[in-house]
Amino acid sequence: MAQVSCTHCHLTFDESVMIKEEIDGKLCYFCCHGCQGVYHLLHSEGLDTFYAKLGNTKLTPPQPILEESLEKFDLEGFQKRYVKVRDDGLKEISLIIEGIHCSACVWLNEKVLRKSDGVIEADINYTTNKAKVVWDDDTIKLSKIIQTIRAIGYNAFAYDAQIQEELATKKRKEYYMRILVAVFGSMNIMWIAVAKYAGYFTVIEQQFKDILNVAEFILATPVLFYSGWVFFRGAYYGYKNRMVNMDILVATGATLTYIYSIYAMITRSGEVYFESVAMIITFVLVGKYLEVLGKKQAVDTLDQLKNTIPTEVLVVNPDGTKSLQAVENIKAGDILEVNAGEKIVIDGIITKGEANFDESSLTGESLPLFKTIDSEVLSGSICTDSTINYKATKDVSSSLLSSIVALLEDSITKKPRIEQLANSVSGYFSVIILAIAIATFVGWWFFDGSWEKALIISISVVVIACPCALGLATPMATLVGIGTAAKRGIIFKEASFLETMAKGTKIALDKTGTITQGKPTVVSANLKKSFNPSVLYPLVSSSTHPISIGIKNYLEEHFPNIEPRDFTQLKNIQGKGFSAIVDGSEVLGGNLKLLEEFGIDFEMESDNLIFICVVDGEIVASFELKDKLKDGAREAIEELKKQGLSVVMLTGDHQRSAKSIAQEAGIEEFYANLLPQDKAKYIDDFKAQGDVVIMAGDGINDSIALTKSNIAIAMGGGADVTIGVSDVVLLDESPKKLKESHLISKRTYRSIKENISFSIIYNIIAVPLAIMGFVNPLIAALSMSLSSLVVVSNSMRIKNIKFKDTK
């Protein structure tokens, strides 16, 4: 049979399965009723041109969506979270449109939305699939808008366009514009300057020089005041916080050079330095822009975490009926029902049923916990396998999950980043240069009597001291450092983090996922002769429980010739194990509690997890499982200690297993049984003791502690939020990278110090000359570019860093 393509979605299928229909004398084929429906809709609305625009792009056939799920879009809780009411009374929402394949899809969605009454604005970003819709709530409801999008075969989700995200985009844009102006200005000034340099050697008439000077002045002015505005702003904040930062030096240096040049231009005395004004602003600004670009949006990922929190829960009313209610309306004492796979939003106590709970987002531990009547359930955990009823003990805002999110938001916005710049070497340098300049001014004025000459000379001190070398000293080294780190799978989100990390004195590590693999593996097995792996294998393969997976891996490794048997009556026994019938015999697999339940006597003492296999009442195999250290974890921790860091471990796991892992990894100091807030508290305590704390973790449970630490390192495989809030991301999760990232930061910091000391030496030679009033334009121009070159090439040396384990 011939293959034909669907008229709507263009996917090809066999002709026999297609729905045939003649529309306006044209034979059309549809692969499903969904496609047919959409085609009819577009046809009747006169939007056939969509198909012409679509070309040969294939679409996803529309999925049938339950009508009832639309209601939630008009619920108050939903509207409160996602919908923004504008000043003019119109409502605005940010949506992610699913199913967009090409620009024709964008066109269609925009077109259909704009045609609907009451929709005032619909703008879809093709690159990100994000849409902004503004509508008039009196004319059209949000649910109707969503329904319109669904009717044409797409789907829409709301997302919280946090103000921070908008701010970040705005900031990037602002920097970009400033750089455009700066590059335009400095490039033009440069060619004018070339003419002047040439003129300096071949003699130039004063009138031409004046024209060139004025042209440079005109070009340098917007560069200094528009592009350089960020430095003035930074200098102002630095002044307010009583700190001398690089911004102050750049701002004063550039401004004084500018003023001096204007003076030189008007009085026709000496040389003008407009080109250095433009160049320094441009260079340092580009460095800053790269930092802004690299900054990942923590808040972006926080949105995703929030989106996974259900907005409504199933409430069991006193009369036995069930109803769906917004989480905001739940009070303590209400009875809630949770089904398998659902996330708990509100803390409470189980009143009916029993189930396993995955608390990995709270404690970081991958093993589900078994809970029954009267046990406490925590929000953020996921009910994995059955239906329970529980009584809410708190309302949503005071539940654990919400408080974690709130805490995170709080610490992200309050993280004192500016503090990191304080006390940096360049800060001291700025003070010294400014002091010398003032001293020069006073000295010349006192001895020479002419304040004019004193001013020119003192400005020239700043001019010759300030430019490129010092401006480039830190950004150049950190850029090379970031690049070197990125090549090794270590992402530093901001340049300044390298410097802070190098100053770290204490490193706090999470256990599961950071030091250990987070997957239990068999460490010892005691197998009887009668043990047949072919019986156990299919049973453990059918489960996703971490212990089953560990056993499965062990069997696969040690018994290459497994022929899985068929099994019947597989029963999971909550929190204990499973039972099944294989080849007519009863097979049990599980922990000691399971044996107890089946009345089998067996004694075993171990720090590890135990899994026992019983066939017809006889114990045929016992396994001990343990969460193993990651490869190289011990060596990496040893190296970190050698590099002068004190290492601590913070874990949500219980004392005993924490102790054994700590011993194995060679960590003396560890704290167990910690909830997310406790970890954060420890970090605060360490900081209060004067430590600069580096924290490495991978789970949501570490995220608060991560935001509290001076430098947060996230494992690449970790939760999005963790990656979002951290400063450094290790892409391949190996503990070795922890050590390497610290090594790179130390090496970079050394280069920064070298660069700055070079600049200082350069200044020790150049500044006295300036103080004595010998500043010759030739020397100034040459030494400026030469010093920059030295700084750049010294920074390049970071690339040659040696790691012990690489050849």
* 88 in contact with other proteins (CB under 8 A): yes
How far apart are CB 61 and other proteins at their closest, in Å? 23
Give the separation between CA 588 and CA 619, rounded to whole angstroms: 9
How far apart are CB 399 and other proteins at their closest, in Å? 38
Q: Are 71 and 143 in contact (CB under 8 A)?
A: yes
3-state SS, 236-273, equals HHHHHCCCCCHHHHHHHHHHHHHHHHHHHHHHCCCCCC
Site pattern 17..56 for other proteins (x: CB under 8 A)? ------------------------------------x---
Q: Which is nearer to other proteins, 191 or 447 (CB)?
A: 191
Report which secondary-structure segment, H or E, holds 313.
strand 312-316
Q: Are 403 and 379 in contact (CB under 8 A)?
A: no
Give the separation between CA 508 and CA 667, rounded to whole angstroms: 10
**Interface pick for other proteins out of 20, 173, 322, 558 (rule CB under 8 A):** 173
* 297 in contact with other proteins (CB under 8 A): no
* 157 in contact with other proteins (CB under 8 A): no
Q: Which is nearer to other proteins, 56 or 568 (CB)?
A: 56
Give the separation between CA 356 and CA 143, rounded to whole angstroms: 36
Token digits of residue 167: 């701010």
* 107 in contact with other proteins (CB under 8 A): yes
Q: Which is nearer to other proteins, 227 or 460 (CB)?
A: 227
- Applying the rule CB under 8 A, the residues between 456 and 485 that interact with other proteins are none
* 111 in contact with other proteins (CB under 8 A): yes
Amino acid identity, residue 366?
S
Residues that bind other proteins (rule: CB under 8 A) add up to a total of 33
Token digits of residue 473: 């000293």
Report helix, strand or coil for 722: helix
How far apart are CB 78 and other proteins at their closest, in Å? 23
Closest by CA position to 737, among listed 635, 667, 664: 635
How far apart are CB 294 and other proteins at their closest, in Å? 19
Q: Are 715 and 697 in contact (CB under 8 A)?
A: yes
Distance of CA 612 to the CA centre of its chain: 42
Closest by CA position to 404, among listed 705, 5, 79: 705
Q: Which is nearer to other proteins, 107 or 263 (CB)?
A: 107
* 412 in contact with other proteins (CB under 8 A): no
* 219 in contact with other proteins (CB under 8 A): yes
Q: Which is nearer to other proteins, 106 or 693 (CB)?
A: 106
How far apart are CB 297 and other proteins at their closest, in Å? 16
**Interface pick for other proteins out of 38, 106, 142, 501 (rule CB under 8 A):** 106
Give the separation between CA 559 and CA 553, rounded to whole angstroms: 10
**Interface pick for other proteins out of 51, 184, 197, 598 (rule CB under 8 A):** 184
Cα dihedral 652, 657, 661, 667 sign: positive
Q: Which is nearer to other proteins, 115 or 233 (CB)?
A: 115
Q: Which is nearer to other proteins, 105 or 715 (CB)?
A: 105
Q: Which is nearer to other proteins, 102 or 262 (CB)?
A: 102
How far apart are CB 625 and other proteins at their closest, in Å? 50
Which long-range contacts (C-beta less than 8 Å, at least 24 apart) are formed by 35-44? 35/6, 35/7, 35/8, 35/9, 35/61, 35/62, 35/153, 36/8, 37/62, 37/151, 38/8, 38/62, 38/151, 38/152, 38/153, 39/7, 39/8, 41/151, 41/152, 42/108, 42/152
Q: Are 803 and 743 in contact (CB under 8 A)?
A: yes
* 799 in contact with other proteins (CB under 8 A): no
- Applying the rule CB under 8 A, the residues between 117 and 146 that interact with other proteins are 118-121, 124-128, 136
**Interface pick for other proteins out of 54, 158, 181, 719 (rule CB under 8 A):** 181
- Applying the rule CB under 8 A, the residues between 672 and 711 that interact with other proteins are none
On the 0-12 / 13-18 / 19+ scale of CB atoms within 10 A, 278 is buried
* 151 in contact with other proteins (CB under 8 A): no
Q: What are phi and psi of 130, to 5 degrees?
A: -95, 145
Q: Which is nearer to other proteins, 89 or 320 (CB)?
A: 89
* 601 in contact with other proteins (CB under 8 A): no
- Which residues are registered as beta bridge partners of 155? 98
Angle at alpha carbon of residue 302, lines to 300 and 304, rounded to 5°: 80
- Which residues are registered as beta bridge partners of 4? 13
How far apart are CB 53 and other proteins at their closest, in Å? 7
* 114 in contact with other proteins (CB under 8 A): yes
**Interface pick for other proteins out of 22, 66, 89, 569 (rule CB under 8 A):** 89
**Interface pick for other proteins out of 23, 27, 163, 180 (rule CB under 8 A):** 180
Stretch of residues binding other proteins (CB under 8 A), selected from 65-73, 215-223, 257-265, 552-560: 215-223
What residues are annotated to the active site?
510
Q: Which residues bind other proteins (CB under 8 A)?
A: 53, 88-90, 103, 106-107, 111, 114, 118-121, 124-128, 136, 173, 176-177, 180-181, 184, 188, 192, 207-208, 211, 215, 218-219
